[in-house]
Structure 1
Amino acid sequence: MGDLYQRLQQWIGTGFSLYLWNGAVAFAAVMIIGFFFKYFLNTIGRRLVAKTQTDLDDKLFAVILPRVKWLAIVIGFYLAVEQVAKGIAHTDKSGEELIRYSEGILYLLFVSLVTILVIRIIDTLLKHSMEMHARKTSSTVDEAIFPILTRMVMMLIFFIAIVITLGHFGVDVSSLLVFLGGGSVALALAAQDTLSNMIAGFVIMLDRPFRLGDRIKLPSGEIGDVYEIGLRSTKILDFDNNLIVSPNADLTKTKVINYSYPKNEIRVLVEVSIAYGTSIERARELMLNFARQNPELLKQPEPSVFFSSMGESSCVLQLIGRTDDWKKKARAENILREQIYTAFMKEGISSGIAQHVVQLTSPIPHGSPKND
């Protein structure tokens, strides 16, 4: 074995060529290890993954496998350059500078590959977690919260990667961190309203008092459908097709009525007035017949008619039913009003027009004698 090593050393040499040979061996060794690692993942790893019930491991394999080769290449080149650097004489300034630049470039490539890999893995984990949560709650994945979380994770990982890279090149990052801390405090003070709206946006996305497509009523009285839930504001599309932009902080501080949650089922209410002396039973019978025949109203609970109040000149009856979707509410109420009005006209049922008796008296002239 010693003779073989001596012969190999004589063939390669003892100077720079020996370190060059060591660099080539290091590169080849890393490439072989990377090849076998990828082969292991493609064969035994995939068979093990196929036995699991979740598809998360399949997604992680799809992220990791294409990047194993590039990581092996960069690591192999970096180790090879380190071996070559040992054989360069200290008097060779240009060679040392070339090696230093090469190591710096390879380190940047390595950090970039690892950063992208970590971002893709965390992105896959977040997306899988949100999909699993959506399946358990029988709801769709929120389209607003996932991009925001992904963007925040990317910014955090990029910041960590930059700090590590600067520290590797000998840059003092403590002063940079102090500067960023002071700048963040100043920015927070200057953008209090914006930050409060952003925090309120996260609260809305996590608490989910309303979702995309829900019909809500604002404290100001406007009613519309939730069009978009953003980081700073929520956009609501009203019945006139106008877009109402409301700051998220205002929505979290006030009462908002959600007509679509937890169910789309909503009440249908029709009020009619009939004159005193009209048969309430006949009016109730007509109203119930129309309600039972209306396809938009649910059979259970059954529609009902209530004698709600007595006015100055009429009695007020309320027809109450339910429909399975708030989008059908206006149409159902309109149809019932038209049918009830037509039937009441045929039956001679009056709506009870208010009547006022005005009595006029002539004033007694001043100074005229009074009759006994």
Structure 2
Amino acid sequence: MNEFWTNHKEAIIYAAIVITIVLILRFLTKKLYNWLEKRTQIKYPNDAPSNIHLAQKILNALWLVLGIMALGFIFIDEEQYKTARENFYIVLYLGIVAVLTLFAASLVQTWFKRSIKHRVANNEDTTSYKFLRYIAIFAVYFLGGILMLIAFKSMRSFAATALGGAGIVAVVAGVASQEALSNLVGGLFIIFFKPFKLGDIIKVDESMVGTVTDITLRHTIIRNYENKMIVIPNAIINKEKLINYDLGTHICCQWIEVGISYDSDIDLAKRIMREECEDHPNLIDHRSELEKYNEENKVVVRVIALGDSSVTIRAWAWASNYNQAFSMKCDLYESIKKRFDKEGIEIPFPHRTLIFKENQLEGLRSKAQNTNQVSVEKEEPDA
């Protein structure tokens, strides 16, 4: 035993020191994580410190890997020592860069959260801040990835070029036709020109109507009235013609269109539609002062079309916003239908007239008679 200790004394002491350092570093990492977690929970009780938790895992894995590599120095010769030492420094560099990148991303995200919270408290628009948050976090991770590539000799030229202005221009030019960049540019256009912002109610088509909940680097998210999320790429939504119900004034004009038969009383139908609209609680008086002075009707009702089987009548009803206008439209269709039924106003529905030739009619009659005979023959045994 003494001979083994004498021959391997330095290696045993070296291994003990390495293991002790690894344990101390893991202990300090745990203490630092607990301190940061408590501080984050105090300031932001509703946010989970995911980046901090991931950084702790990376550090614990880093100390373990470095400790194993350091212990490996005991079993290698001098020729392999130089390569092993270089690999040791590369792993250490990668681990530190990864942790610093996560911390930088957490700081950026925290700053944007504070700014967004402050603007929300002051009833200010937060669309640009939420979108720029994605760009800033992407930039942090992009820079961290480039710094990691520098650790490898074969990738240093690419990393140096990407960090330079010419490299960025080359990268952008190389992917200019790609969908990813189109969506990114589309998102920037939305932020700069503001055709809509977070919280606005927009209508892209009849199946895509809802509230804008988020605008990312790639897509815009709309929550429709079925509480479903509609994800639209920014490049597509920039090309579409859309309606923003919250752009400018919020008051909304709702068309109430009903078709009546040609035999029905048009004047009576117009009066019923006007009365039902004026009695609805969501209706607002949109008349000018001159129109009020002239005692014009609150709701304009006109015949707008003479169709093949119906006379189309439209009422222009105004509401305070899109939500109230939609509810008013649904209620008015129901109440107008009930009044029409009560007052004898007919709403036409499609009719179809079938004309048979004489030989076809005889064939149908003979076929019907044969069918009746078969059914009678089947019933007779049971009788």
Q: TM-score range by the shorter chain?
A: 0.5 to 0.7
Partner of 2:317: 320
Aligned residues of 1:211 and 1:226 also touching (Cα < 8 A): no
Letter matched to residue 305 of structure 1: K
Using the alignment, how far apart are the partners of 2:131 and 2:41 within structure 1? 34
**What residue number does 2:24 align with?**
32
Name the structure 1 match of 2:144.
Answer: 157
Equivalent residues in 2 for 1:134-145 (5 A)? 137=120
RMSD between aligned residues: 6.0
1:178–1:154 distance in 2 versus 1, CA, 3 Å: closer
Is 2:13 the partner of 1:21?
A: yes
Q: Which of these residues, 152, 177, 194, is aligned with residue 166 of structure 1?
A: 152
**1:335 corresponding residue in structure 2:** 334
1:50-96: per-residue Cα shift (whole Å, max 9, x none)?
A: 894334997265444444433433455566667x6xxx9xxxxx613
Residues 344, 57 of structure 1: alpha-carbon distance in 2 compared, 3 angstrom cutoff: closer
Query: In the aligned structure 1, how far is the partner of 2:237 from the partner of 2:28?
Result: 56
CA distance in 1, matches of 2:236, 2:44: 41
Partner residue, 2:253: 267
What do residues 222-260 of structure 1 show as CA deviations (whole Å, max 9, x unaligned)?
54416997866779999xxxxx99874575478642136
How far is the alpha carbon of 1:108 from its aligned partner? 4.4
For structure 1, list consecutive stretches of 5 or more residues without a partner in the other structure. Answer: 1-10, 89-93, 239-243, 349-372
Task: Describe the shift of the 1:248–1:265 C-alpha distance in structure 2 as closer, same or farther (beyond 3 A).
Answer: same
Question: Shift of residue 161 of structure 1?
Answer: 0.7
Partner amino acid, structure 2, of 1:166: F
CA contact (8 A) 2:274 2:315 kept: no
Q: Does 1:204 align with 2:194?
A: no
Question: Structure 2 unaligned runs (5+)?
Answer: 225-229, 288-296, 347-383
Instruction: Name the count of aligned residue pairs.
Output: 306
Distance 1:197 1:273 in 2: 44
1:54 alignment partner AA? Y
Indicate conservation of the 8 Å contact 1:269/1:318, yes or no. Answer: yes
Matched with 1:49 is: 39
Distance 1:30 1:20, change over 3 A: same
Secondary structure (helix, strand or coil) at the match of 2:43 reads: coil
Give, as a single letter, the amino acid of the residue that structure 1 aligns with 2:203: I
Residue 91 of structure 1 corresponds to which residue in structure 2? none
Deviations 1:298-347 (A, max 9, x none): 26669963457799999x8844132635654653453355356446646x
2 CA distance for matches of 1:56 and 1:212? 22
Query: Does the C-alpha gap of structure 1 residues 51 and 225 become closer, same or farther in structure 2, counting only changes over 3 Å?
Result: closer
> Which amino acid in 2 is paired with 1:31?
L
Superposition deviation, residue 151 in structure 1: 6.0
1:298 equivalent in alignment to 2:282: yes
Partner of 2:373: none
Contact 1:78 1:107 in 2 (8 A): no
Structure 1 distance, partners of 2:170, 2:32, is 50
Q: 1:262 to 1:108 in 2, by over 3 A?
A: farther
Cα 1:71–1:226 shift into 2, 3 Å: farther
Secondary structure at the counterpart of residue 305 of structure 1: coil
Q: 1:193 to 1:78 in 2, by over 3 A?
A: closer
* Cα offset, 1:149, TM superposition: 7.0
**Which residue identity does 1:159 align to in structure 2?**
I
Which residue identity lines up with residue 44 of structure 2 in the other structure? Answer: T
Q: Which has the larger radius of gyration?
A: 1
Q: Does 1:114 align with 2:105?
A: no
Amino acid paired to 1:258: N
Q: Which whole-Å deviations, capped at 9, do the CAs of 1:251-298 have from their partners, x for residues lacking one?
A: 547864213668987432336899xxx998x8887445423655xx52
Letter in 1 for 2:173: A
* Number of the residue aligned with 1:191: 176
Q: Check the 8 A contact 2:253/2:316 in 1, yes or no.
A: no
Asked if structure 2 preserves the Cα contact closer than 8 Å seen for 1:302 and 1:321, the reply is yes
Of residues 174-183 and 331-340 in structure 1, the stretch that sits farther from structure 2 once superposed is 174-183
- Helix, strand or coil at the partner of 2:298: strand
TM-score by length of 2: 0.52
**1:73 aligned partner:** 64
- Tell me if the contact between 1:267 and 1:329 (Cα under 8 Å) persists in the aligned partners: no
Matched, 1:95 2:82: no
Counterpart residue type for residue 291 of structure 1: C
- Whether the 8 Å CA contact 1:49–1:57 is kept in 2: the answer is no
Superposed CA offset, 1:85-139 (max 9, x none): xxx9xxxxx6134334433443444344335434544555566566663795489
> What amino acid is the match of 1:113?
G
Distance 1:61 1:247 in 2: 31
- Pairwise CA distance, 1:209: 1.4
Shift of 1:18: 3.8
